[in-house]
């Protein structure tokens, strides 16, 4: 079913990965994948119902709440850590808490955005969701993390960029509300990868040359032949595993995948705008959140960005925003133009 709604659950792990495990994995892995797919489908129909706790009235300060579902499929679960409290000793709880904070800091310190809605919205997360649940998602109001199966997937809080990726779905929901299908859906996913990667790079203090540009590094266990779920630098190279298959992402419009699966390939074709951002950021050098990220953020909040925007429309807006902020003849505008040319979106 194609999801055209601006809100609703947005899952990190693509359905095609879980479907392969369900059809070809061991009895335990197949059952875990099937139960995750079932939970994802059921949740999609009822997402976004948990009331939010109090947000932050002070700009520049976050309001974080982390709950424990205790391996039940309930939300939000038992409150185990709130803003200002020390580490709990539970890795999933503390990773979620610190990931929420790093994401808040990126949007506030780099883009002057006060939380998801720019009005101090509480950052709410639930960990230990379900038993062997193999996903993480934004449900329209909060973050939810499974523990993985321990054989193929580690806990879904393990990578900061997963946390930031899912929270960015919330930012998109409050801004462009890009329809979650086809090219607009792939842009939705790509923007989440962009800001997920920027949150990680900024937290680590990395330049574009130091960053790995991988999304979900650490999620796979050692049993999986793969570095991460996606590579922004080289889409299609993140994993090549006998069970999971090969990373299907293209990095150029010549290889654009036409499919009805995955809401029209939202997790697949996002590799094209991902690589465009990577090319622009590498051309500019330094810290990616300072110039390339600023241009992409300006475009995300640009009121001219339509819900059904395709790659070309988004590319032209990034170029216009680069020219407005830095000048038509600037290095920044040139890098953006060449980035989109490099993936075949602009000529």
Distance CA 196, CA 100 (A): 11
Dihedral angle computed from the Cα positions of residues 69, 74, 78 and 82, in that order, rounded to the nearest 10 degrees: 90
Distance CA 100, CA 330 (A): 34
**Where on the phi/psi map is residue 229: left (φ > 0), alpha (ψ -120 to 50), or beta?**
alpha
Look at residues 300, 298, 303, 252 and name the one whose alpha carbon lies nearest to residue 278: 252
Which 8-state DSSP code applies to residue 25? S
Strands 240-241 and 245-246: antiparallel
Distance CA 307, CA 123 (A): 25
Strands 123-127 and 143-145: parallel
Distance CA 324, CA 125 (A): 37
Q: Is 267 a catalytic residue?
A: yes
Distance CA 212, CA 206 (A): 9
Q: Are 247 and 230 in contact (CB under 8 A)?
A: yes
Quick one: how many helices (H) and strands (E) in the chain?
11, 10
The active-site residue out of 114, 128, 165, 267 is 267
Partnered with residue 82 across adjacent β-strands are 65
**Where on the phi/psi map is residue 263: left (φ > 0), alpha (ψ -120 to 50), or beta?**
left
Dihedral angle computed from the Cα positions of residues 228, 244, 265 and 281, in that order, rounded to the nearest 10 degrees: 20
Distance CA 129, CA 293 (A): 32
Sheet holding 64-68, edge to edge: 10-11, 136-138, 143-145, 123-127, 64-68, 78-82
The active-site residue out of 83, 95, 134, 166 is 166
Q: Is 166 a catalytic residue?
A: yes
Report residue 211 as tokens.
């960053």
Report residue 338 as tokens.
């060449």
Catalytic residues: 166, 267
């Amino acid at each position: 079913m194609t999801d055209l709604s601006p809100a609703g659950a947005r899952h990190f792990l693509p359905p095609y990965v879980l479907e392969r495990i369900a059809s070809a994995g061991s009895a335990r892995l197949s059952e875990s994948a099937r139960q995750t797919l079932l939970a994802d489908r059921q949740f999609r129909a009822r997402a976004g119902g948990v009331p939010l706790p109090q947000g932050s009235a002070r700009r520049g300060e976050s309001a974080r709440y982390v709950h424990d579902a205790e391996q039940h499929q309930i939300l939000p679960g038992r409150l185990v850590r709130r803003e200002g409290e020390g580490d709990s000793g539970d890795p999933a709880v503390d990773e979620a808490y610190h990931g929420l904070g790093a994401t808040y800091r990126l949007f506030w310190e780099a883009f002057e955005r006060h939380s998801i809605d720019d009005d101090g919205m509480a950052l709410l997360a639930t960990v230990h969701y379900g038993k062997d649940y193999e996903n993480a998602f934004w449900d329209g109001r909060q973050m939810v993390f499974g523990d993985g199966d321990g054989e193929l997937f580690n806990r879904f809080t393990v990578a900061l960029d997963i946390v930031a990726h899912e929270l960015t779905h919330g930012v998109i929901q409050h801004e462009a509300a890009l329809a979650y299908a086809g090219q607009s859906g792939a842009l939705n996913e790509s923007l989440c990868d962009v800001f997920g990667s920027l949150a990680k790079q900024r937290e680590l203090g990395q330049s574009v040359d130091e960053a790995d540009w991988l999304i979900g590094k650490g999620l796979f266990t050692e049993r999986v032949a793969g570095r991460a779920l996606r590579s922004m630098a080289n889409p299609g190279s993140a994993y090549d595993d006998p069970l999971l298959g090969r990373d299907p992402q293209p990095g150029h419009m010549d290889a654009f995948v036409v499919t009805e699966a995955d809401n029209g390939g939202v997790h697949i074709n996002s590799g094209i705008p991902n690589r465009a951002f990577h090319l622009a950021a590498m051309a500019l050098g330094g810290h990616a959140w300072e110039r390339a990220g600023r241009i992409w953020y300006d475009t995300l909040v640009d009121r001219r960005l339509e819900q059904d925007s395709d790659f070309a429309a988004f590319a032209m807006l990034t170029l216009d925003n680069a020219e407005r902020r830095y000048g038509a003849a600037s290095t920044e505008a040139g890098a953006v133009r060449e980035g989109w040319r490099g993936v075949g979106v602009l000529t």
